[in-house]
Amino acid sequence: MPEDTPQIASGSDGNAQRMVAQSPRGGASGDAVASIKPRILKQGYIRFLTLADLDGRSRAAARCRQLVKDFESDLGGADELSTAQRQLVQRAALLATCIEDFEVRWTMGLVFELPDYLAMVNAQRRVLLSLGLERRARDVSNGRLPLRERLLAAMPAEADTEVSDVG
């Protein structure tokens, strides 16, 4: 297992599991594995973790937070969301962050599990559909008329009558 991978170790009683995340030293800022806040590690083993328990300085955590804000904005703002919608937004953002990581690894030529990637893409699609996010057609004309109408408008009035007489 790589050195920078979080290790899962059994607690002293054998039942409790806690995650000890060690960030590699000497790496670029933000490249480290996400670490758990020290005050939480002092409590002994950890039963439930949330995104709020993360240190939050990693690139992945920052990207996930940004995506949560973007999804909330798409849905009308955080104050307009139900608890269930907030949970779905968090899932969609976390899946998007993982998917982006897979895509970057693939473009770098690194090995990754295609079935895992496809499963995450499918799960994210279903979460986004549940949230009601849908694809909308975008106006690409920038307020411009179609080409035919612009050409007709640019022609002098006399040329317009000549064209209609010929036809």
pLDDT tens digits, 34-93:
666 676 666 666 567 777 777 778 898 899 999 999 999 988 889 999 999 999 999 999
32 & 51 share domain: yes
Is residue 148 in some structural domain?
A: no
Helix, strand and coil content of the chain, in percent to the nearest 5, comes to 50, 5, 40
Whether 33 maps to a domain, the answer reads: yes
Instruction: Please state, rounded to an integer, the average pLDDT across all residues of the chain.
Output: 74
> Could you tell me if 41 and 78 lie in one domain?
no
Within this chain, do residues 64 and 129 fall inside the same structural domain, yes or no? yes
- Do 117 and 128 fall within a single domain? yes
pLDDT value for 45: 63
Residue in the block written with tokens 């995506």 = 67
Same domain, 27 and 69: no
Which one of 36, 57, 78 terminates a domain?
57
Is residue 162 situated within a structural domain?
no
Residue 139 maps to a domain:
no
48 and 63, same domain (yes or no):
no
Q: Name the nearest CA neighbour of 2 among 20, 18, 19, 24.
A: 24
pTM: 0.56
Residue 150: pLDDT band with limits 50, 70, 90: confident
- For 13-39, write each residue's pLDDT tens digit: 433 333 444 333 344 444 445 666 676
| Domain assignment present for 38 | yes
- Quick check: helix, strand or coil at residue 61? helix
Q: Are residues 29 and 64 in the same domain?
A: no
106 in a structural domain: yes
Q: 87 with 123, same domain?
A: yes
Asked whether residue 152 is domain-assigned, the answer is no
Phi/psi for 118 (5° steps) reads: -65, -35
* Angle (CA) 114 119 125, round 5°: 125
Kindly provide the b/e burial profile for residues 20-49, where b requires at least 16 CB atoms within 10 angstroms of the residue's own CB: ebeeeeeeeeeebbbbbeeeeeeeeebeee
User: Measured between alpha carbons, how far is 164 from 160 in angstroms, rounded to an integer?
Assistant: 6
- Which domain range does residue 37 map to? 7-57
Residues 41 and 70 in one domain: no
Indicate whether 63 and 106 sit together in one domain: yes
Segment 95-110, tens digit of pLDDT = 999 999 999 999 999 9
**What does the DSSP 8-state code read for residue 146?**
P
Residues 125, 67, single domain; the answer is: yes
Confirm whether 153 is domain-assigned: no
Please count the structural domains in the chain: 2
